[in-house]
Amino acid sequence: MAIRALLVDDVDDVRRLVRTALRLRGDFQVVAEAGDGADAVRLAREHRPDVVVLDLGLPDLAGREVLSRLREASPESKIVVFSGADSHDEWVRGHVDGYVGKDSELAHLVDLLTTLGSRPDEERVLELPRSLVSASRARRFVADTLDAWGISAVRDAALLVTSELAANALTHAESAFRLQLSRTSGAVRIDVVDHGAGSPEPQPESMSEEHGRGLLLIDAMATAWGIDDVDGNGKAVWAEISLPTVDPPTLS
């Protein structure tokens, strides 16, 4: 079944580029397009798309307002911001399912949308206590799972991301946590769910400060990452790592 997409951008050429890329991938159906926030909310309520590609620089509704209205109109839709400028607004980061810069390869956006719009092929979960050994247990779990799935190309990146997410739960949240590892044909997703009060925040790059650099490393290694509320009692910090594409063999 095709992944149903709503494209929201006030620039026609941007919507055309994304539409073309999705159709070339072949797993998508663009059900509607909008050039402003009000139209986007109306179309989201009407079509209930699987994914929404959203530019926050719309002429009528500010970023937070359009996001809130889209969530109300179609709560099950996955929202990916496709923006020309990076956002340091943690509220925005925490209310979207992905964030891709317009200076990125368009294939990165398509890969992320494919992952978000598809159900996981497999998922494994590990509950871990608030303990210094939990980070190493989390890494071992991820390494063993990737080996079992036959995925080795992203192992180093996945272990680094796992280390940082586990450290955030133990250091900032001071909490036990649940590690969820899932995969689709296009990506591996790592979720760390805790019920502590603390929340990690990206810090400006610095040559002298180590604290707060974990999310900057995650941002560099992952296709997308975010922080989601969990039933009003905790949060999930997650990261997506795209799997490398394999070109089909050529016939001689």
What phi, psi does 57 have (nearest 5°)? Answer: -90, 55
Residue spans per domain, the chain: 3-117, 122-242
pLDDT tens figures, 20-41: 999 998 889 999 999 999 999 9
> In whole angstroms, what is the distance from residue 122 CA to residue 182 CA?
6
Question: What number does CATH give the domain 3-117?
Answer: 3.40.50.2300
Question: Do the beta carbons of residue 221 and residue 190 sit within 8 Å?
Answer: no
Structure confidence by residue, pLDDT tens digits, 137-151: 999 999 999 999 988
pTM of this prediction?
A: 0.55
Q: With beta carbons less than 8 A apart as the criterion, state whether 18 and 82 touch.
A: yes
Minimum mean pLDDT range among 54-58, 102-106, 160-164, 232-236: 232-236
Angle at 239 between CA 78 and CA 196, to 5 degrees: 95
Residue with tokens 């079944």: 1
In this predicted structure, what is the pLDDT of residue 246? 52
pLDDT for 162: 95
- Supply the mean pLDDT for the chain: 85
Q: CB of 30 within 8 A of CB of 23?
A: yes
CATH class of the domain whose range is 122-242: alpha beta
* Beta-strand relationship, 28-34 and 3-8: parallel
**Which of the four pLDDT bands, split at 50, 70 and 90, describes residue 86?**
low
